[in-house]
Amino acid sequence: MMIFSSLTSGTSVEGAEITAFKTDLEAEKYLYLLGGTHGDEVEGVYVLQQLYNWLKNEHSLRDLPIVVIPILNPDGYRSGSRMNSHAVDLNRNYPTKNWSPNFKKEKHNPGPSALSEPENIFLDKLFHKFNPGLILSFHSWKPILNFNSDCEDVAEYLSSYNEYPVTGDIGYPTPGSLGTYGPEKFDAPVITFECPVLNDEISLKKIWNENEEGLKSFLQSELLLKKLKK
């Protein structure tokens, strides 16, 4: 059982609380578990919620340096919107070298400037205070494990359980994304964990069931320890 303590909360555009939690273990690098970047992707939020509950209640676990942000975009989550309340896609708003104010689709609006949004400012401050060694960002689109930087082995490990395709390229540009920002700024590889979307045959419970064993195994693996020690 890991003991998590609340960190100082962030605040969304509309003033909603953005909660964050950290294990009591101090380390040079932390595993980040992040959900709800896109408020309409409830599947990823649910998977992270189940994983976090397990971390807090499983007595056999060894301590690990972990930071959990259950829902980065509470305004979007409340309204069922991909974007935050400024109509900005938080996953196009990070200050990467390839950030651009130009966009073709409204849902990819990067904001007026890089790191303009309070939700991302909060996360960035956490990154600077608790250095990320590996970031797992839970989303939902179609089942894919998208890896950025040195974590293809992590994606392959998880894929050996859930059989999601592994790719380093989702097929279109993503300027200003966390997948670019993590490696570029913090030398922290990023797994964008894309869950399947709910439909008549796929429930939240089914999505968790197909990911439970792999995620739990990875969090107890030597591979994770190796990533956090690099």
99 is written with which tokens?
A: 């950030």
Q: Does residue 230 surpass a pLDDT of 90?
A: no
- pLDDT given at position 173: 92
Q: Give the tens place of pLDDT for each residue, 78-118.
A: 999 999 999 999 999 999 999 999 999 999 999 999 999 99
Report the alpha-carbon distance of residue 192 to residue 183 in Å, rounded: 13
Place of tokens 């595993």: 31
Those residues with Cβ within 8 angstroms of residue 44's Cβ, 6 or more apart along the chain or in another chain: 35, 36, 138, 139, 140, 193, 194, 195
Report the alpha-carbon distance of residue 60 to residue 66 in Å, rounded: 16
Q: Give the tens place of pLDDT for each residue, 1-36.
A: 799 999 999 999 999 999 999 999 999 999 999 999
Distances (CA, A) of 116 to 87, 106, 113, 129, 181: 12, 17, 5, 19, 15
Pairing label, strands 144-148, 66-69 = unpaired
Q: How far is CA 197 from the centre of its chain?
A: 17
Q: Give the tens place of pLDDT for each residue, 135-190.
A: 999 999 999 999 999 999 999 999 999 999 999 999 999 999 999 999 999 999 99
Amino acid making up residue 135: I
Q: What's 40's DSSP letter?
A: T
Q: Rounded mean pLDDT of the chain?
A: 97
Distances (CA, A) of 86 to 15, 76, 80, 119: 12, 10, 14, 11
Q: Is the pTM of this model over 0.85?
A: yes
Amino acid making up residue 30: Y
